[in-house]
């Protein structure tokens, strides 16, 4: 996602709204995951992250 030298990646700026931890891309970039909270936030078709707690899904290993 970094296009120019010195331009930060979006994930270097964004943080989990629950715990303020780092996020990582999953599902081909369709979601952003907080490994600490096990919450996955959707990313719109236009590439805009939806970092709202009510939109987050539990992505805990073994969760149904």
Kindly report, residue by residue over 6-46, the tens digit of the pLDDT: 767 888 999 999 999 999 999 999 999 999 999 999 999 99
5, pLDDT greater than 80 = no
Domain residues of the chain, as ranges?
10-58
15, 32 Cβ separation under 8 angstroms = no
Class of domain 10-58: mainly beta
DSSP designation for 7? P
50, 56 Cβ separation under 8 angstroms = no
Give the pLDDT mean for 43-61.
Answer: 94
Which pTM was predicted?
A: 0.81
């Amino acid at each position: 996602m970094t296009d120019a030298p010195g331009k930060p990646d979006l994930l270097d700026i964004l943080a989990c709204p629950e715990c303020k931890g780092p996020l990582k891309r999953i599902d081909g970039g369709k979601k952003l995951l907080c490994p600490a909270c096990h919450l996955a936030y959707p990313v719109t078709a236009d590439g805009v992250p939806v970092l709202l707690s009510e939109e987050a899904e539990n992505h805990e290993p073994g969760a149904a």
